[in-house]
Chains A and B, each alone.
Chain A
């Protein structure tokens, strides 16, 4: 019964996220808010791709590093917002999380997915990449993926946030966030996030950023209310 309910909740969550804002308000409470920064963030350096001409020619202007990406209204992008305590573990969804190497960049730069969810890694470039995630709790592997080869399928069985890099192209640096439940978001331009479908209870919401670290807040949800939570990170000037 309990498991069934969790599975159902997971499916409902999936359906809700698929219809996004168009559908009816989902059952349960919601935590939403915005991630911003204060202070002056470091200026991102342009990437020198001259050693990889097949990628360099794809851009007319130099690409910037994505260690800190800011958007309109002091918003901070690429922040993983998730429930670190209070929510039960969810079963992995049947859809795969997709990580693409294109133009010698990682798309997305930060990829969040669930424990035991399929992770699909694909190479759309005309050059070989090696995918080298660097977990501490999970198994560390390192695989080559030449152009035109099939997607790599992997999964991780422990919750952990860790870097992934390509040794051949040292500017390629991303993050895998392996999470225990389905209530999470990665911020984009505007820094907004919504964690929906939360049964009444007390939750710890954590926001993680690759350069500015993490911070947490406690939230108590009753009924189908929407609570607003804001995270403000202190920008480092270097």
Chain B
């Protein structure tokens, strides 16, 4: 009796295996994998464990198949991320490439300001690593491609008034103001018509609110935002057109636009008569005061 069972099993396996192989060959597009890992520092996340968490915490918005169509999705603006596209805003890697596991892991910890995506720091680090592994099962790109090579960030040079001023010149030259506005209020001439890659309206970041930017609050986070671009949004990558040293100057200047966020850059800027006048003028909300005052 047990022999017959064993025989049946063998036959079944023998029949199934070649058909599975054939199916794989017939389909040129790689299928999303069911079993993936994530690696963040010493942590290893497992997609099987992540699935349990996903179908408890995430699918209400991101949907059962990860394509962003959960039952809450119609009420959520901006729309929940569609993981099947494998396009992510906050990355350490160049535009058009997959992010590092640690980028997704940090996003889960941080959450997204101005959106319905909360911080998941109440979960354990292992939980978050497992979720990152599971999110990757929704797109075959995680099987066929490797994450991009993270961009190189040179050490931050000393903060000087000159670096702030040079950053201000770059803000003009690179035409950041076209969307973000001359005062960084997110009200530039192109702001009103911006749409994301799913044709949904999207607003440029308003530097004058005291909120941190979407992808983190450190100077290095700010550096990464404009050098990698926020994929899936109108924010492009400037990596090909801004030199690393210039990029730090721009970071220093952007900090002075955050007039309601006390930073060393703002303090230094306000210590100069010129900077003080500009910052004071900007603090008057909903007026044009300060427009035309060039840094």
Contacts and interface: CB of A to CB of B under 8 A. Distances in A.
A128 B240 contact: no
A168 B229 contact: no
A128 B171 CA distance: 12
A103 to B, nearest CB: 17
Contacts of A146: 173-175, 241
B95 A128 contact: no
Determine chain B's interface SS by DSSP, over half rule.
loop
Nearest to B196: A167
A121 to B, nearest CB: 11
Interface of A: 51, 127-128, 130-132, 134, 136, 139-146, 149-150, 152, 167-170
Contact of A142 (B175, B193, B231): B231
Interface string B248-268: 000000000000000000000
B178 A128 contact: yes
B179 A168 contact: yes
B175 A128 contact: yes
A180 to B, nearest CB: 13
B106 interface: no
Given A134-B197, A140-B232, A168-B179, 10 more contacts: A128-B178, A130-B234, A136-B85, A140-B96, A142-B229, A142-B235, A144-B236, A144-B240, A167-B179, A167-B194
Given A140-B197, A145-B241, A146-B175, A51 B96 contact: no
B209 interface: no
B190 A149 contact: no
Contacts of B193: 170
B237 interface: yes
B189 interface: yes
A132 B179 CA distance: 15
Contacts of B137: none
Given A128-B174, A132-B236, A152-B240, A143 B95 contact: yes
B149 to A, nearest CB: 14
Contact of B240 (A132, A149, A167, A170): A149
B190 A170 contact: yes
Contacts of B232: 140
Interface bin, chain B: 20 to 34
Nearest to A158: B29
A170 B190 CA distance: 8
Contact of A149 (B175, B234, B241): B241
B197 A143 contact: no
A130 B240 CA distance: 12
Interface in B30-84: none
B146 to A, nearest CB: 13
8 contacts: A141-B237, A142-B95, A142-B233, A146-B173, A167-B179, A167-B190, A168-B178, A169-B190
B127 interface: no
Nearest to B190: A168
Contacts of B94: 141
A75 B233 CA distance: 36
Contacts of B178: 128, 168
Contacts of A51: 189-190
B165 to A, nearest CB: 19
A45 to B, nearest CB: 14
B87 interface: yes
